[in-house]
Amino acid sequence: MSTWDVPGREWQPAVRVGLGCASLGNLFSPITDAAAEQTVEAAWRAGVRYFDTAPHYGLGLSERRLGAALRGRPRDQYVISTKVGRLLVPDPSGAGRTDPEGFAVPADHRRVWDFSRDGVRRSLDGSLRRLGLDRADLVLIHDPDDHLDEALSVAYPALAALRDSGAVTAIGVGSKRVDVLRRFVAETDLDVILLAGRYTLLEQPAATDLLPACRRRGVAVINAGVFNSGLLATDAPAAGASYEYAPAPAAVLDRARAIAAVCARHRVPLPTAALAFAAAHPAVTGVLVGAASADQVRHNAAALAAPEPPPQLWRDMVAAGLLDAAAPLPGPG
């Protein structure tokens, strides 16, 4: 089993691909408890041993379902990451409404931004209760974009203290903003960043300085959102396809279709190329892929197991201006 090498610290086992568990929290549409369990089971059978969740996902539903699905499996054989930054506060008055942040669950809790030391500890304690665990493998500061100074000066030291005490094995930050992640890499001693949607076959703004900085500093990179919210998840990106959790703008859709056309000329499925590219940067130690069903897990596993795309595919994309020349190309040479 391959592992992520975090310099100076041990937090394995882990593998090159993980399951993003937002859909276990009924992202956009509801799934049953049984479907959630089958999704995790399919991931386990495919060899996945890293699972990422958060209180934000379904107001705790994702954590509860993930903990239930993994219960009974050897604790030393998998890694779970969860997140801090949003406290869940009971709100009985919302029980008759649907959560307004994209999850098909009753709004019986409110999310409250809290990057204080107490907020970090309370959030983690709540996550462990929902997961049914007594320790955390990886804890990430979640979307600190609009609270950056407090997250750096208060939440990060709180997590570092938990890591130093042994209560947390590894710590990090997750965001889709390259500038936010760059500051954490430069100013802290974190173990991991979770980079969401900013080093993909569609766009590579992290290639210029963030990923090289991670390599220099020994920070592991979990590459998430590699299908850009679904735009690269099929061979033929269609009008209305999702990008940033909304319909893709025309220019973005045109770019995705141009990428798909290059893949088609080389007879490589677009999702296969997207996964191969996302995993190939030497700073990337794991790729996180979401799934809402066992069938989606199996589809993603097949894409990951497909033969490596030919080197000419990547060269053609660079020549067409579809890939950043600073991005290392997959494959030999």
| Cα–Cα distance for residue pair 200/192, rounded to 1 Å | 18
Helical pair 294-305 and 270-280, crossing angle rounded to 10 deg: 70
Q: What are the structure tokens assigned to 88, written together? A: 């869940």
Distances (CA, A) of 214 to 97, 145, 222, 257, 329: 42, 19, 11, 31, 18
- Picking from 37, 44, 42, 41, the residue whose alpha carbon sits closest to that of residue 13 is 44
- The one catalytic residue in 50, 57, 78, 243 is 57
- Picking from 165, 278, 192, 275, the residue whose alpha carbon sits closest to that of residue 5 is 192
57 included as an active-site residue: yes
150: number of Cβ within 10 Å = 17
Q: Which residue spans within 14-149 are E strands per DSSP?
A: 17-20, 50-52, 79-84, 86-90, 109-113, 136-142
Active site residues: 57
